[in-house]
Amino acid sequence: MLSQKTIDIVKTTAPVIAEAGPMVTQHFYQRMFSHNPELKDVFNMSHQKNGANNQPSSQQEALFNAICAYANNIENLAVLLPAVEKIAHKHTSFMITAEQYNIVGSHLIATIDELLAPGQDVLDAWAEAYGLLANIFINREEEIYQENANKVGGWRGTREFVVINKQQDSEFITSFTFKPTDGGKVASYKPGQYLGIYLNADELENQEIRQYSLSSAPQDDQYRISVKRESHGKVSNYLHNNINIGDKVMLAAPAGDFFLDVEANTPVTLLSAGVGLTPTLSMLESLTDHQAPVNWLHATENGAHHAYKKQVKALAQQHNHIQDITWYNTPLDSDLPAEDYDYQGLMDLSTIAPQLTDENMHFYFCGPVAFMQYIAKQLLALGVSEDRIHYECFGPHKVL
């Protein structure tokens, strides 16, 4: 436990650090990568690029928000446990170690000293507070590492897999299926979780680590991910252009705190936009024997962008409890209403409100942040309680 003196100092100085937030986080990352360049093989360096008007990058903003949240709740750390769980899962996918926590801590304290010169008492207090938080993460991540290693087909660290199938599912989305080269089983996962992939190549300046949602129901001998080609995506373009059947990659065990968690008689609605369908597709394939209604609601630009259209329609036709509804924002001339899509424009839940009114129904959704904010607002307006709303952000987490 922290001493009262430490708590008082952190609470008193937190507003000063918050006011200097962007400057602190930018200085911190620059300092850390200068002194420990090996961490460029761990962090997503694309997330280090500043936004418009030299605003903090997404990774820098996430760190700043985490520091503020910790300081504001330093007397009630239980409030932070959901965030700890989310971050801990992501860290295990990056194989974060206790030693790396020590490195981060040393640069954080040095940054506060160099920019704000608050005095030794303040530095000691923040060091103590950081140490407590780091230990919470280290202990939870060790539990996850051990859980993954102890599963049937599980492992710790990275494991070599070979690509056994590469399939283009839309103009921008391609799926990759992997099997372990050792011929063994693979660890099961909860529908909605993601897989960590490690890439090293001459075309890449650093080792690149990414997490992609598993896009099929769990199988005991293989994994599938579906990747959207982003116009400036270093890794997504590398995967699309360079990774083919027979190539080998290193994978970390499945992880993630966004997953399907309902009873067999719980009605479920899955909502997605664009490539956000990847985790919900895994959920859908896992709900074919469900004993309650399942709504699949998907929004995309048009038929060229619509991945897994035939597969989803087939599932809906084969299972009476599954309802498939699609929105196209700007249909192509070749896209046929009632055949390729049901509604034009943005996903408007008021058009199907009667299907969403069961007070026991749970809602799982994923897609661009703006889409998810739009959906969350509509669900709340329909009277859906927050405990029945579940969502996943690709990249640094944001509260909707």
Element spanning 20, H or E: none
Output the CA angle 276-224-340, nearest 5 degrees: 50
Radius of gyration of the chain (CA): 22
Place of tokens 């839940």: 349
Q: In Å, how far from its chain's centre is CA 157? A: 19
Q: Which residues are known binding-site members for heme b?
A: 91
Of 70, 101, 374, 391, which one is the catalytic site residue? 101
Q: Which residues are known binding-site members?
A: 91, 194, 210-213, 274-279, 393-396
Distance CA 366, CA 177 (A): 22
Distance CA 246, CA 126 (A): 50
Is 373:380 a contact under the CB 8 Å cutoff? Answer: no
Is 178:163 a contact under the CB 8 Å cutoff? Answer: yes
The SS3 assignment for 247 reads: coil
**Tokens for 213?**
């949602």
Of 61, 141, 301, 392, which one is the catalytic site residue? 141
Assess whether 101 carries a catalytic annotation.
Answer: yes
Assess whether 141 carries a catalytic annotation.
Answer: yes
Q: In Å, how far from its chain's centre is CA 307? A: 20
Residue 316 exposed, middle or buried by CB count within 10 Å (0-12, 13-18, 19+):
middle
- Please name every residue paired with 255 in a beta bridge, in sequence order, or none if there are none: 194
Q: Which residues are known binding-site members for NADP(+)?
A: 274-279
Is 167:174 a contact under the CB 8 Å cutoff? Answer: yes
Give catalytic residues, as residue numbers: 101, 141
